[in-house]
Structures are given as structure tokens and as C-alpha cells.
Amino acid sequence: MRLVLVGWGAISAEVARLLAARKAPVKLVGVGQRTPVQNLPYPAIATPSDLAAFHPDLVVEAAGRSAVLPWGEAALQAGADFAPASTSAFAEDAPLDRLLTLARSRGRQVLIPSGALGGLDALSAAARQPLACVIHEITKPALAWRGTEAEALCDLSTLTHPHIFFEGPAREAARRFPQNANVALITALAGVGPDATTLRLVADPAATGNRHRLLATGDFGRMEVTLDNAPLPGNPKSSALTALSLVRLIENRASPLVI
């Protein structure tokens, strides 16, 4: 399978390393990038319009929200499937609608990776029947919320107990807290959508890492999944599971066995 990665930050570099170490049946034929990267070990693709010449089967984006639509459209037009890691681009419906319309016309797929989350297979399956409630709770150390709107909603430096400073629709959370927009939109797309999914953001002075807790109830029953994610070594702001989820997605596209 011919793979193109868009972006060459910590996540893409880790994905390439893991694919090589695991000897996956994947050939990384190029890396899309907005600015030149010194010592890039793969051919550089300067613009989305250059993508088709690399004949990719799958294009995986890990370059940020602004890269999703131009590279996604180029990938689908080139006859490749497209997997966007920056799902925050779908905080509004129009970008996803444009990509899905193009995917249908080309017989290709837009693949949403699970990112730093778990249990999305169960949530997505459960959503085939009515869901009564989906709540995604994100807990971080209190001071990790510095530089966000949380500072105006509570005094992060004086908290002594976990404090819920935001609870509302995933779409609103994605707009007001863009650092958490990717996971908010992934949960929403897997379940009941960005307006019916509840995001609960928690500052905890005793927390030592990031925790995701997913709760859902519906005709299927009840589920609760909790993950405490280790950071990505090359970028502590990202979860190691984010890169691993992309590796899983890529390997599933190339493997005769899909789990």
C-alpha cells in the first residue's frame, strides 16, 4: 500500500518509525508539508496539487486543522482514501460535507481515527440504535488548562478539588477549547453528533496526566470507558495513543486481517 503523510511533526515521525519497526506492508512514498524540513527522510510534497503524482492509496493528515480540507480534497480526487487526525476541522459541518460528497463521487472513504480515545468501536456500534446520553469527560492537571478560557472561569492556581469548569455540547467545546477539539469531534462523530454529545472539562489539582472518560447509555445498555494516556515522547501535548491509533488505521488498510 502506498502511503502519504501530511505534516512531519512528532506524530507523523512516530507513525513512520512504528511502521518501519513493525515491518508493515506499507510504502511511505511522500510527506506533505507547508515549509521545508531539513533532512526529511522521504520525498517532500510541497502542495496538495502535487499529490496525485505520488499515486497514494491512503493519505493521513497530521498537520493541523487548516490542512484537512485542501489535502483531503486532493487525496480523494487522486483516488486515495483520506484519514484526518485534525478532526477539529469538523467543528462546523461544511468541511466534512464537502469531503463526503467528493468521497462518494470517487468511490473512496474518509476514515476517522480514534486518536487518544478508546471504546469508539462500541460507541459507534451502539449508535445503530437510539442513544439516550453520551458524555465525554476530560480531566487534566489544573495548571495544564492555563492559556485557555478556563482561566476566566475559575482560579486554576487555588483549586483544592476537581472542578468542572465547562459542561455543554461538543460543538461549543470545540470552538471555545480548541486544544480539545479533536477528541470532542471524534466522540461526536462516533455517536450522536456534536450538538447532542456532552463535553465535561475538569481541572484537577491532584491529576498527574490526562484522563478521558466516556459514558453512554441507550437501547444497547450502558458503557463506561476510562483512559489515562501517556504523552508522546516527542510532544508531551499529544498522547502516545494518537500516533498508535494512526498506525492501527494504516495497518488495517494494508492487512488481510482487520480488528
Note whether 143 and 208 are same-domain residues: yes
Task: Tell me: do 125 and 92 sit in the same domain.
Answer: no
In this structure, the answer to whether residues 96 and 135 fall within a common structural domain is no
User: 76 and 12 in one domain?
Assistant: yes
Q: Residue 143 belongs to a domain with what CATH number?
A: 3.30.360.10
Total domains present in the chain: 2
Q: How many CB atoms lie within 10 A of CB 253?
A: 19
Q: Does 259 fall in a domain?
A: no
Whether 41 is in a domain gets the answer: yes
List pLDDT tens digits, range 106-127: 999 999 999 999 999 999 999 9
pTM, rounded to two decimals: 0.93
d(CA 92, CA 102): 17
Residues 45 and 145 in one domain: no
Check: CB of residue 63 under 8 Å from CB of residue 71.
yes
CB atoms within 10 A of CB 154: 16
Say if residue 143 is in the same domain as residue 77. no
Instruction: Give residue 7's domain range.
Output: 2-115+241-253
Is residue 136 domain-shared with residue 184, that is, in the same domain? yes
The tens digit of pLDDT for each residue in 52-110 reads 999 999 999 999 999 999 999 999 999 999 999 999 999 999 999 999 999 999 999 99
Helix (H, G, I), strand (E, B) or coil at 82: strand
Residues 173 and 144 in one domain: yes
Instruction: Give a yes or no: residue 236 inside a domain.
Output: no
- Residue 51, domain CATH: 3.40.50.720
List, as residue ranges, the binding site for NAD(+).
116, 182
- Domain co-membership, 155 together with 75: no
| Residue 148 grid coordinates | 485557555
- 64 in a structural domain: yes
What residues in the chain have per-residue pLDDT under 70?
none
CB-CB contact of 206 with 140 (8 Å): no
Flag whether 221 is in a domain: yes
Has residue 79 been placed in a domain? yes
Q: Which helix (H) or strand (E) holds 237?
A: strand 235-239
The catalytic residues are: 212
Based on the fold, state whether residues 142 and 184 are members of the same structural domain: yes
Residue 16 lies in a domain: yes
Nearest 10 degrees: CA dihedral of 238, 205, 155, 185? 30
| 6 plus 110 within the same structural domain | yes
Q: Are residues 160 and 221 in the same domain?
A: yes
- Residue position matching grid coordinates 463521487: 105
Residue 234 lies in a domain: no
